[in-house]
Structure 1
């Protein structure tokens, strides 16, 4: 097996790439081309990881580079995407190019090159606000932001190739992944980085919505399970903890772990438009358990707290915290 990981320089992608190399897989890491020759978070990977990586710098939006990167690969794990919801409000065209056209480039090349499997990354945001709970894979899709709309389009494009040409596509649908290296545009790093920088009054958007937070180690094991299982072809599979918690409760748990008396201020610029806010997410993960034998190791309240403790330990390292701008709203 030769595995291509797109988006390998990002938050989840770097953790996934490291796990695959550690497990002995032959990995090609597709990173976003830049003139600094930066490999993103992979720059901070242990030397033994980097020595065993085949790195390809390119752009998911370019079909020629994508096809070149995929040559000789048997499996493709497609994580490359634009994911920030606020940024999608004012720059939606970039999301169409990256998320939809980028996915098309991957699956068209997979068809041409007879790749054995493509694991395409979806998101729980495609479900919108829960119409029923827990949310299973049959839940209606609701594009409540330009971001989620493009992810719905990307998912449908990927699955259309499976239905039309029998391209071996699996769709993994992670719920709200968190952990070390995550961008401060996400709520958990936002909370931790503000508290770690000495603030006790922090700025957040809406704290009423609920999420199903999935620790990055569980998300990574979900990707590997989907990749390795022959039963996953043609399937959409939720990867979530099956534990619902509000943003406000999450902030209180983080403050408790960090030993801080917390005050929350609502920052208007962090609020989504009313009809765009996803009010409730709660994953049904039964399909992953039955089809893949996957189950979260950081599930439930205790598991969530354990994941937060590991995340806080990483963020409160001064070297790591210095890479974040706690006093700036990051979209």
Structure 2
């Protein structure tokens, strides 16, 4: 079965990515939402992708709606995240993209321990391994959660203020990455995608929830949707990650990956209604806002576009339309 082509159109960075042809690229968390799109993007540029995944997800590699995930690439499996560094060192990659993380919204003591054990410490160990194996470049996946209740525009100069154990583990990882660059000259870059969406996203996320309801002609309750967000199609995220692999000038820095198209949540969901032709099912204002809801969220992208020579190319309308078409094709009503 052919692999899913997340973004078949030629892009502005295609020439730069030719450097990855034949390169050995390890991707941790390769069976995740962004990971599988990164693996497809690597395949398109002729790189040799190597998937490093936990055993639970490895068991599901061939069981996603009949699609053969990762058909072709090497697969290396771990039972404990602290094994990632040893596995990657043994694989001797040219490049490493570290996407694996435990994502949790919990604000508990248990979450502090688990995010420390599964996010921060494995990332530090992996950076040490990348120094020893002399990788050409390492990309770490950051998170907007590092900034906490930021209001308005933000970029790499904004002071982190994580509100959760997960956000703190990501902010600490970013801090260690910058230290590893300054102290040990590790060629590492941290990228923070904004609100990613697209095929194969977890059904617990907003856009898949909305599309699932509309596909089934089922009403769904949401807030008034006055929050502003930058939604980026996952194919643009994947290309941004690959572009950063070949940009030495990004070493020791962190950047936002966004579309630059800031809209309200209501505008986004109304666009899905329009694309699907199934209006009146989204009940705006039926749910209250969450405690601590962030209403103004605007990642600054000028530093990213300048450093990477990259810009997201998928408009929100085009990305939602292609995602809706994919979503409808995946299952029965």
TM-score, length-scaled by structure 2: 0.84
Tell me the residue number matched to 1:283. Answer: 299
Question: Does the 8 Å contact 1:226/1:292 carry over to 2?
Answer: yes
Output the CA distance in 2 between the equivalents of 1:286 and 1:265: 33
Cα distance per residue 1:20-66 (max 9 Å; x no partner):
0121001111112139732278896568x612x01111146224x43
Output the CA distance in 2 between the equivalents of 1:159 and 1:45: 38
Tell me the residue number matched to 1:161. Answer: 180
In structure 2, do the counterparts of structure 1 residues 36 and 113 end up closer, same or farther at CA, with 3 Å as the change threshold? Answer: closer
Output the CA distance in 1 between the equivalents of 2:82 and 2:289: 34
Alignment of 1:191-202 (within 5 A): 191-199=210-218, 201-202=219-220
* Runs of 4+ more than 4 Å apart: 40-47, 87-91, 265-268
From 97, 103, 118, the counterpart of 1:83 = 103
From 287, 309, 314, the counterpart of 1:293 = 309
Question: Does the 8 Å contact 2:55/2:78 carry over to 1?
Answer: yes
* Root-mean-square deviation over aligned CA pairs: 2.5
From 81, 92, 104, the counterpart of 1:61 = 81
Tell me the residue number matched to 1:218. Answer: 236
Number of residue pairs aligned between Structure 1 and Structure 2: 308
In structure 2, do the counterparts of structure 1 residues 251 and 66 end up closer, same or farther at CA, with 3 Å as the change threshold? Answer: same
TM-score, length-scaled by structure 1: 0.84
2:165 aligned with 1:146: yes
Output the CA distance in 2 between the equivalents of 1:165 and 1:60: 26
Question: Does the 8 Å contact 1:129/1:281 carry over to 2?
Answer: no
From 307, 310, 324, the counterpart of 2:322 = 310
Q: 2:31 is paired with a residue of what secondary structure?
A: coil
Query: How far did residue 267 of structure 1 move?
Result: 7.3
Tell me the residue number matched to 2:9. Answer: none
Question: Does the 8 Å contact 1:9/1:42 carry over to 2?
Answer: no
Q: 2:326 is paired with a residue of what secondary structure?
A: helix
Query: How far did residue 307 of structure 1 move?
Result: 0.4
Output the CA distance in 1 between the equivalents of 2:327 and 2:279: 19
In structure 2, do the counterparts of structure 1 residues 27 and 166 end up closer, same or farther at CA, with 3 Å as the change threshold? Answer: same
Tell me the residue number matched to 1:243. Answer: 261
| The 10-residue stretch of structure 1 (109-118 or 229-238) with the greater mean CA deviation from structure 2 | 109-118
2:127 aligned with 1:107: yes
Output the CA distance in 2 between the equivalents of 1:173 and 1:33: 26
In structure 2, do the counterparts of structure 1 residues 182 and 91 end up closer, same or farther at CA, with 3 Å as the change threshold? Answer: farther
Alignment of 1:249-268 (within 5 A): 249-262=267-280, 263-264=282-283
Tell me the residue number matched to 1:98. Answer: 118
Query: How far did residue 115 of structure 1 move?
Result: 2.1
Query: How far did residue 102 of structure 1 move?
Result: 2.2
Alignment of 1:311-326 (within 5 A): 311-319=323-331
Query: How far did residue 94 of structure 1 move?
Result: 2.2
Question: Does the 8 Å contact 1:207/1:246 carry over to 2?
Answer: yes
Alignment of 1:107-126 (within 5 A): 107-126=127-146
Query: How far did residue 182 of structure 1 move?
Result: 0.6
Q: 2:297 is paired with a residue of what secondary structure?
A: coil
Output the CA distance in 1 between the equivalents of 2:286 and 2:67: 35
Query: How far did residue 179 of structure 1 move?
Result: 0.5
Output the CA distance in 2 between the equivalents of 1:173 and 1:35: 23
Cα distance per residue 1:185-227 (max 9 Å; x no partner):
221111111211221x203357332211111111011001100
Question: Does the 8 Å contact 2:54/2:81 carry over to 1?
Answer: no
Q: 1:19 is paired with a residue of what secondary structure?
A: helix
Query: How far did residue 261 of structure 1 move?
Result: 2.1
Output the CA distance in 1 between the equivalents of 2:74 and 2:210: 35
